[in-house]
Amino acid sequence: MDNVLVSLILLAVTIGSVLFSRSRPVIAQIVVEALLLFLIGAFLSWRGTTPLPHSGQLPDGAAGAWFRALAVVWWLIGARLVVAVTVVAKGRDPRSREARLFSELTAAVIYITAVLIILNSVLDLNINGVLATSGVVAIVLGLALQNTLSDVFSGIAVGLEQPFHVGDRVSLGDNVEGIVVQVNWRSIKVQTDEDDLATVPNSVVAKGQIINRSVPSKRRAAMIEFALPASVVPARIFELLRQAPLLCDDILVSPAPSVTLRRIGMQRHVYATHFYVADTPALVRARSALLCQTLRLIRHAGVGQAELSRVDLLGSLVLFESLSRKELDELSGHLRPHDVAPGDVIFEEGAEAHAIFVIETGVIELSRIGSGNVATPIGRIGPGEYVGEIGLMTGAQRAFTMKALTAARVLELPGDCIRLLVQGNARLAHTMEGSVKKGLAWLERDTAARESEPIEPSADLLGRVRAFWRLASS
């Protein structure tokens, strides 16, 4: 009865200790399981037996059965201990894919070996028949689960090769691209850009093309093709296509965008703009912006159509949208064109505002002196955009420097000629006043140009604008 009681106490202590240590670190589990192995082994040795008992070593009756139970527990705990020690010795993060696959494969082999030892040596069962039967069962299961087994072994192969990790952006074949959120034996789960969760079997992953967008960097390369008239000199097209990326915030400066001639045709040549963005989310925005800027540059350059006249250019500006064709024609006669080379300064920060500048061709950079007395770019503008209206109307000094980034043509519109055109015309003045406010509120032009000349409270601004028009405040 003493042997039975001590065996029951050891089994209870073992179960409690194992349950208690499950939520503890791996090292703590190893220490607890090593102590349990020592206690059970010492008890069995004290009673004249071992974890591999022979029939003659075990007493008859209930005590012998409990000794066998302790031997079974000893082998199971030993298997757990070997698995834990193997994982720690491997030195990998247990949450990683390869560590998990390695530990699970190792655990399977160790536990199967422990079970066979228990059946054959502890419980004294003849396992030859079991092994023969298990072979037949394994064949049947293999045929029934061949797809699942294919996924499992493909998962092992992919895990060993490690083409990606959880958190990486991957492209699998032609249909699935997104962030890897989970990896298991049978499949991987990918969160797509449409916020869907795609489950891809490991067999499909192993057979298909895997592109890891996060390695060696998250930077993405892209290309957009344009079919343009063959009658236009390619050098001119190249210059326009090189300017378009300069107007897109999401396109990286380095590596620099490039333009190539892809195909030559009788009617049209196909050109391509190659560029880079910082990551995939910026790619869609960059494509859209590049298309818009390229089409705008081509339109203003008159490629494939009549070149935009200066009257039409002024009429396209929100600032002058209320003027008639005759008034626009009169205003265009006062425009002073300036052809500038890359690096030429049109005006500097702090200069007096005496004119509005309209971009006819090229790309212009706006910069402001920042900390350390270093000029910091705050934006870029292109054809069909303008700057200087707020400083002109309020009398404020230029809040930024305007410099040519490429060869460009800038149209200077003096403030005096605007005043002469609308002086005494209250309706037109108020219409243009409203146009200015509307343009500042929602006009789709360079944000930096608007922010660099901050607006005062509306009452003060209207007072200054009306003073500019030489009209009495109402």
Distance CA 312, CA 97 (A): 63
Run of H or E including 143: helix 128-144
- Total domains, the chain: 4
DSSP tally for the chain: helices H, then strands E: 16, 16
**167 alpha carbon, distance to own chain's centre:** 10
Distance CA 320, CA 101 (A): 69
Segments in the chain below pLDDT 50? 1, 94, 439, 442-459, 471-474
Distance CA 408, CA 48 (A): 100
194 within 8 A of 140, measured Cβ to Cβ: no
Residues 439 and 373 in one domain: yes
pLDDT of residue 449: 41
Structure tokens at 280: 């995939």
Choose one of 282, 301, 320: the last residue of a domain: 301
Residues 284 and 262 in one domain: yes
Q: What is the pLDDT of residues 189-242, one digit of tens each?
A: 999 888 889 999 888 888 888 888 888 888 999 999 999 999 999 999 999 999
What pTM was computed for the model?
0.63
Distance CA 442, CA 434 (A): 12
**473 located within any domain:** no
Residues 243 and 358 in one domain: no
Run of H or E including 329: helix 325-332
The CATH number given to whatever domain includes residue 422 is: 2.60.120.10
The CATH number given to whatever domain includes residue 252 is: 3.30.70.100
pLDDT of residue 161: 78
Residues 199 and 132 in one domain: no
**229 located within any domain:** yes
91 within 8 A of 98, measured Cβ to Cβ: no
DSSP state, 60?
Answer: S
Q: What is the pLDDT of residues 139-150, one digit of tens each?
A: 665 555 567 777
Residue at 294: amino acid letter: T
Residues 114 and 138 in one domain: yes
Distance CA 359, CA 445 (A): 12
Residue at 308: amino acid letter: L
Choose one of 284, 301, 318: the last residue of a domain: 301
**364 located within any domain:** yes
pLDDT of residue 144: 55
Residues 315 and 464 in one domain: yes
Beta-carbon contacts of residue 420 (< 8 Å; ≥ 6 apart): none
Residues 237 and 197 in one domain: no
Residues 318 and 464 in one domain: yes
Residues 261 and 338 in one domain: no
SS3 156: helix
Q: What range does the domain containing 368 cover?
A: 310-468
Distance CA 26, CA 80 (A): 11
pLDDT of residue 139: 67
Distance CA 14, CA 39 (A): 10
Residues 207 and 225 in one domain: no
- List C-alpha distances in Å: 48 to 54, 64, 273: 11, 12, 84
Residues 247 and 324 in one domain: no
In the 3-class helix/strand/coil scheme, how is 417-439 assigned residue by residue? HHHHHHCCCHHHHHHHHHHHHHH
**185 located within any domain:** yes
Residues 125 and 180 in one domain: no
Sequence length of the chain is 474
pLDDT of residue 446: 40
pLDDT of residue 141: 59
**153 located within any domain:** no
The residues that bridge with 268 in the sheet, in sequence order, are 229
